Amino acid sequence: MGFFLRAGFVFAMSLAALTPALADSRLFSVKADAPGVTVEQALVDGKPLAVSGKGGGVTFFRLDTAGDVPCTQRVTFVASSGARQDADVALCPQNWNFVVSFAAAPATPGAPQALAPAKPVVPAQPAAPAQPAVPAQQPAAAPAAPASARIITVATDDPQVGIEAVFIDRLPATIVTRQGNGVEIQVPGGGDCRRDVGLKLSDGRTIARQVDLCPANGSVLVMLGGGSEVAGQQAPAQPVQPAAPAMPAQPQLPPEPASSPAIAEGAWSYSSGDGNAILYFGVPQSDDGSFSAACATGTSRASVDILRMVDGLAENAPVQVTFFAGAFTRTYPGKGSPVSQMDGGSHPMIAVTANDPLWATLAKEAQVVVAIAGGDSFSMTLKGSAGPVRQFLAACAPAPVAPPPVAGPPPGGRLVSYRCADGGSLSVTFAANFHTAFVAEADAAPIQLTGGMGGNGSAQFSNPPARLTGSGESIRWSRFGEPPRTCYPRG
């Protein structure tokens, strides 16, 4: 029974020690039914399973879960040929061997593919490899894409490598959602299904592929293991007498950080006066700055100045500024500032709302790179940025209507200390009637929220834009409307 459910019934009892759920694993092996083809990947809910071993055309996979593994599990298999197949696998008997068919004919929608236990294989002399077919003189026309825009999922085969940006025919694609190491993107309708696709990866690499963007199952898996194939597609056959291939041209991507961007010197600071709040990065006690954000108190909108002159940029001329920090990448449209009498040039200005994820990124990452279209890229350290950023957002955010912040926690409540996944910490005092929660954390004023218990032991408290939700032992906390942080009780 979680903390919030216990608190609803016996609030006077002390918190029980945290005990992790019992883990469970299933080991199974898979073999393809086609000669020379091996099963390279198995995915459950889009996440690759661990490979425990390979040999003799058989691949061993391990499925780990925090609780009991269901006896029947829906698994997506990816073959070395690039073929892909979904199947229902019975996992209760351990160490089973399965044979999966990667037949060319599509499966009937909604019907699970049966996997039969493999029979002992008698070693035989391998057959001579088939000669590649001579290509037709006139290649078939590329299939046409649907006329309407659609959403597809693109993911990498390495769970540690995510996708920061996607470019289709050298133009940025709209990222709808992110989950794990995959993204959902919006693909414009019309044109050919096979398109030039560029990916900017979380490990700093940029790769280019010819990708079929009309997959029947709505997802594309990009293999990063040195090959250029993409799951769901057949890699082209190699010619008998291959010529030395030229390296494929990389797509022309929008502004991205240079390999060695200039490092801006300075420190982060916050100041206020005359009803305005200012967040600044620059050399202290000087006019040498790189970043300045200002807002009128309580307006929720900030004007950001990138204090780098751009050659040829005119006043009010459009300009784009891109920020790169950790997994965060976002391009903001802006305009040129009035021409400076001192420098004789214009610098970019952009508008950013107080709830934009840029602020949370500046508060938690270690470094940010700023790329100006038509200008230079530079990096700024984010060491010491958390306090000034939170002060700035607190000043910009509209004052809460009710209830107002209080000076101290409610009497007779229960104090719980939390450590958050981003390294921060906070404490929450829950009132005895469980209708209010008092939150205190470093570099921010204490705040009181109202709410109560929900179903299944959950709880919700808010004081817009601040919001705290709980389920079991953990909480999710957002003070300024930024993406919530997950926090756990200290042991």
- Distance between CA 409 and CA 336 in Å, rounded? 48
CATH classification code of 262-396: 2.60.40
- Using the Cα atoms of residue 30, residue 34, residue 39 and residue 43 in order, give the sign of their dihedral: negative
For residue 290, the Cα-to-chain-centroid distance in whole angstroms is 28
Say how many CA atoms lie within 13 Å of 321 toward its Cβ. 26
CA-based R_g, the chain, Å: 28
For residue 176, the Cα-to-chain-centroid distance in whole angstroms is 11
- Distance between CA 483 and CA 491 in Å, rounded? 25
Say how many CA atoms lie within 13 Å of 226 toward its Cβ. 1
Helix (H), strand (E) at residue 75: strand 72-79
pLDDT (0 to 100) of residue 221: 76
Q: Which two tokens stand for residue 94?
A: 């351990």
What's the length of the chain? 491
For residue 386, the Cα-to-chain-centroid distance in whole angstroms is 21
Q: Are 299 and 310 in contact (CB under 8 A)?
A: no
| 304 to 2, 14, 480: CA distances (angstroms) | 44, 48, 18
3-state secondary structure of 132: coil
353: which residues sit within 8 A by CB, 6+ positions away? Answer: 300, 301, 302
- Distance between CA 233 and CA 221 in Å, rounded? 10
pLDDT (0 to 100) of residue 225: 53
* CATH architecture type of domain 150-231: Sandwich (2.60)
Q: Which two tokens stand for residue 178?
A: 């992110």
Q: What fold is seen in the domain 24-107?
A: Immunoglobulin-like (2.60.40)
- Distance between CA 364 and CA 383 in Å, rounded? 9
Q: Are 65 and 212 in contact (CB under 8 A)?
A: no
- If you search the block for the tokens 């190491």, which residue do you land on? 181
* Mean per-residue pLDDT pooled into runs of 10, the chain (491 residues): 49 34 63 83 84 70 72 83 80 62 49 41 43 47 69 79 86 83 82 82 81 75 54 38 45 47 89 91 88 90 91 91 89 90 84 91 91 86 93 81 55 84 86 88 85 82 89 86 85 69
**Same fold? 24-107, 262-396:** yes
pTM: 0.36
- Distance between CA 333 and CA 236 in Å, rounded? 41
Which stretches does DSSP call E strand in 91-239? 96-100, 116-117, 150-156, 163-168, 171-172, 174-179, 182-187, 194-201, 206-212, 219-222, 230-231
111: which residues sit within 8 A by CB, 6+ positions away? Answer: none
Say how many CA atoms lie within 13 Å of 83 toward its Cβ. 18
pLDDT (0 to 100) of residue 23: 52
- Distance between CA 29 and CA 59 in Å, rounded? 5
CATH classification code of 414-489: 2.40.128
pLDDT (0 to 100) of residue 66: 66
- If you search the block for the tokens 């807002």, which residue do you land on? 295
* For the chain, domain boundaries: 24-107, 150-231, 262-396, 414-489
**Amino acid found at 144:** A
pLDDT (0 to 100) of residue 110: 39
pLDDT (0 to 100) of residue 92: 62
Q: Are 202 and 134 in contact (CB under 8 A)?
A: no
3-state secondary structure of 371: strand
